[in-house]
């Protein structure tokens, strides 16, 4: 069964954002970022529908999921699934995951790191699958879409990163450059798989998601990220 919807959320503000410094290794959320997450926990409209929350194994996305998805986590014995395929697109220190020892010490009580410990043990090397070149990013985005398409849950949340989500939605031009509006901190866009059965697991933003973002007004919402069928 394919999920009815995938809700992608960009992480909240990290110190690399506020200080404009990608050289900060795997930074924390700022106090403003934590407040953004609290607001997300109150405004996210789909807590009664989601069955799985995933996050890139980078600390700010995990922190965003812990705070922003708190109602989901409190609703039973649920964990966040660490999803290496969803990590950021560049190899800067701010976008390179910490080592597993640190991640497990900080988040092992509530995050399932199975995929980091088994299938993707090299997830923080910035090499091979994790390299920042356009071909590698496109291949990783395709693998992520296929992974999500093949899940059995009805609706899934993925907390990820602005640059890489352009790759996932295929919102890039022939040179790999971003072609539409940036994702803002804690912005949510919802997608379904369309056309059904496409080999590349293409995504189309839902009409509900487009309306919700457009209703926020100029400066708060980005352009629609509908994916054209090639």
Task: Write out the chain's pLDDT in tens, 230 residues.
Answer: 799 999 999 999 999 999 999 999 999 999 999 999 999 999 999 999 999 999 999 999 999 999 999 999 997 778 999 999 999 999 999 999 999 999 999 999 999 999 999 999 999 999 999 999 999 999 999 999 999 999 999 999 999 999 999 999 998 877 767 766 789 999 999 999 999 999 999 999 999 999 988 886 433 433 333 333 33
Question: Can you read off the two tokens belonging to residue 4?
Answer: 């009815």
pLDDT tens digits, 145-177: 999 999 999 999 999 999 999 999 998 877 767
Alpha-helix runs per DSSP H in 51-206: 59-68, 70-73, 100-107, 114-117, 134-149, 162-168
Question: Any residues with CB less than 8 A from the CB of 56 and at least 6 apart, and which?
Answer: 11, 62, 82, 83, 84, 86, 87, 88, 97, 159, 160, 161, 164
Phi, psi of 82 (to 5 degrees): -70, 125
Instruction: Please state which CATH class domain 5-214 belongs to.
Output: alpha beta
**What tokens does 112 get?**
């399932």
> 62 with 29: CB under 8 angstroms?
no
| Domain ranges within the chain, ordered by starting residue | 5-214
């Amino acid at each position: 069964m394919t999920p009815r919807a995938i809700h992608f959320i960009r992480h909240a503000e990290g110190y690399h954002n506020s200080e404009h410094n990608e050289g900060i290794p795997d930074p924390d959320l700022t106090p403003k970022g934590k407040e953004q997450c609290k607001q997300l926990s109150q405004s996210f409209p789909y807590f009664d529908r989601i069955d799985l929350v995933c996050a890139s194994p980078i600390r700010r996305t995990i922190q965003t999921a812990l705070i922003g998805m708190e109602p989901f986590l409190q609703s039973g014995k649920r964990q966040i699934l660490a999803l290496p395929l969803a990590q950021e697109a560049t190899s800067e220190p701010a976008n390179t995951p910490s080592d597993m020892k640190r991640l497990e010490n900080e988040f092992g009580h509530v995050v399932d790191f199975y995929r980091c410990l088994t299938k993707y043990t090299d997830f923080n090397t910035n090499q091979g699958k994790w390299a920042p070149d356009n071909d590698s990013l496109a291949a990783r985005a395709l693998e992520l879409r296929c992974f999500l398409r093949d899940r059995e849950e009805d609706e899934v949340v993925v907390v990820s990163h602005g640059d890489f989500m352009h790759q996932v939605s295929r919102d890039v031009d022939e040179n790999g450059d971003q072609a539409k509006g940036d994702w803002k901190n804690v912005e949510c866009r919802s997608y379904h798989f369309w056309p059904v059965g496409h080999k590349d697991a293409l995504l189309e933003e839902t009409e509900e998601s487009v309306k919700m973002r457009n209703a926020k007004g100029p400066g708060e919402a980005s352009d629609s990220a509908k994916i054209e069928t090639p």
